[in-house]
Amino acid sequence: MRQKWLLRLVAPLMRRTVQRADRILVSSAPMVTHSPFLRPLADKCEIVPFGTDLTYWPHLNTKEEQRVAALRRQYPRLVVTTGRLVSYKGFDVLIEAFSSVNGQCVIVGEGPLDKQLQQQIDALGLQDRVHLVGRLERDELKCMLHAARIFALPSISPAETFGIARWKPWLAVCQWLTRMCLRACHGWLATGMKA
């Protein structure tokens, strides 16, 4: 990763910090098993998953139902993905895949790769099928997830913890597509969930 040089600089400080801690809170077990800083201190680590409002995401009011219907007319074969536009999220892989996918993709998020991803979309001639929409307000994101046929997690790194991103589409009754390594998903992919 591009941050390797920075990691070498701050690694001694990170090691001292986690060694001095009484407890270390992490969002998932893979964070411990894949971290050279946390693995030796696994007995200090406590898993506290990210939370989300379980009552908000699955339910639509009348106005939201109408918005979902409009989105489904606009994007009849919609794939949605969300996240910060950074390299390990794998959005470039998803965009490349859409060269041979009959559908539309909406990428929700902001980040340093915004221009680079748009250039990739333009270079592949996918402007009519792949859309970078930036940050969406909560209500619009909820409607987008309900309109989606698939929620994609194209991450290419075991560092991805799939925090909040994993629950919102699940609560919105959306199918999942993930490119992530099974070892990083182990422990939270539910039986029967399409991955």
pLDDT of residue 31: 83
What number does CATH give the domain 62-185? 3.40.50.2000
Is 167 a residue whose pLDDT tops 90? no
CA 163 centroid distance within chain: 8
Rounded Cα distance between 88 and 7, Å, is 16
158, pLDDT greater than 70: no
- Per-residue pLDDT of 69-98, as tens digits, reads 999 999 999 999 999 999 888 999 999 999
DSSP 83: S
φ, ψ of residue 38 in degrees (nearest 5): -95, -30
Q: Where are the beta strands (DSSP E) in 35-190?
A: 45-47, 78-82, 104-108, 130-134, 150-153, 175-178
- Its sign, for the CA torsion 17, 23, 24, 30, is positive
Give residue limits of the domains in the chain: 4-47, 62-185
Mean pLDDT of 156-182: 54
Q: Looking at the whole model, is its pTM more than 0.75?
A: no
The helix/strand/coil state of 153 is strand
